[in-house]
Amino acid sequence: MRIVDAQIHLWGSGLPSNMAHRQVTSFTTKEAVGLMDEGGVDAAVIHPPGWDPNSTEMAFKAVRDFPGRFAILGAFPLSSPDKRALVETWRSQPGMLGLRMDSSGAAAGLAG
């Protein structure tokens, strides 16, 4: 049976404000893969965290560097003027599974 962790965060800067997250200023793909291997986890879905503006690019790099091990559930600002076009082509991005909305109804995290 394939084991997939449905939500992990990778980040290269910043400190999570939610105390339920690891309280470190970075958690890298290499660290995630090591823990996944140790725990027998085959794959994971990355949810880029909002506290690191570069976390989405980090997620795309993880998808490129470890094919089949990572996928992304991304987000973008709902205030974006091109949101309709973003949604129409969203899943064409390598590794992108879909969108994540926060509890306020806003999507956050994807820059550019």
Global pTM value: 0.83
- Could you report the per-residue pLDDT of 68-87, keeping only the tens digit for each? 999 999 887 777 788 888 88
pLDDT mean over 92-100: 89
- Reply yes or no on whether the pLDDT at 18 is more than 80: yes
pLDDT-based confidence at 103, cuts 50/70/90?
low
**Rounded (5°) CA angle 45-46-52:** 170
Cα(44)–Cα(3) distance, integer angstroms: 9
Contact between 106 and 77 under an 8 Å Cβ cutoff? The reply is yes
- Reply yes or no on whether the pLDDT at 48 is more than 60: yes
Neighbours of 99 (CB within 10 A): 15
Question: In sequence order, what are the beta bridge partners of 71?
Answer: 45
Cα(2)–Cα(4) distance, integer angstroms: 6
